[in-house]
């Protein structure tokens, strides 16, 4: 459980900052809401999913963080529940980011394995012209038989 918290916490803090703190600065500005809902918040979900999956591979629980935090943002700032349709949009965009990050992760993993295999292939040691002689005691035992 502690491992999961360490894994998700930095991303959850960034997402929470963008979804919960940023609208407080622009709460009176009516032009911010459409930009935030249509560009800033989906970009956050996409980039966080991409960054998370880039090094760890795909994880289906990670895209749930953005919609859950967004629900809190809706309850605090807008009080209009028709904005909750964006929960599904942010979930889909976050999953898309995870899949793109997973593809990059797999490509990086393949390149690392190729580099590792190329290094191990270049260090082959060939031993030839070695002869092994039997000990004298073994030779005497063979003569007696």
Give a three-class secondary structure readout of 68-122: HHHHHHHHHHHCCHHHHHHHHHHHHHHHHHHHHHHHHHHHHHHHHHHHHHHHHHC
Q: What are the sequence ranges of the domains in the chain?
A: 2-120
The crossing angle, in degrees rounded to 10, of helices 85-121 and 41-56 is 30
pLDDT tens readout for residues 66-115: 888 888 877 777 666 666 788 888 889 889 988 888 888 888 778 878 87
Cα gap 19→119, rounded to integer Å: 46
| Structure confidence by residue, pLDDT tens digits, 101-140 | 888 888 877 887 887 776 554 445 556 666 555 556 655 6
* Other Cβ atoms closer than 10 A to 106: 13
């Amino acid at each position: 459980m502690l491992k999961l918290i360490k894994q998700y916490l930095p991303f959850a803090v960034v997402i929470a900052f963008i979804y919960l703190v940023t609208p407080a600065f622009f709460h009176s500005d009516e032009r911010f809401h459409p930009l935030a809902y249509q560009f800033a918040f989906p970009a956050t979900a996409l980039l966080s999913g991409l960054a998370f999956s880039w090094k760890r591979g795909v994880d289906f629980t990670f895209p749930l963080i953005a919609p859950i935090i967004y629900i809190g943002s809706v309850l605090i700032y807008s009080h209009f529940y028709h904005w909750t349709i964006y929960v599904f949009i942010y979930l889909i965009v976050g999953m898309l980011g995870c899949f793109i990050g997973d593809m990059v992760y797999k490509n990086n993993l393949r390149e690392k394995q190729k580099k590792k295999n190329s290094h191990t292939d270049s260090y082959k040691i060939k031993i030839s012209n070695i002869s092994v002689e039997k000990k004298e005691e073994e030779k005497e035992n063979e003569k007696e038989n």
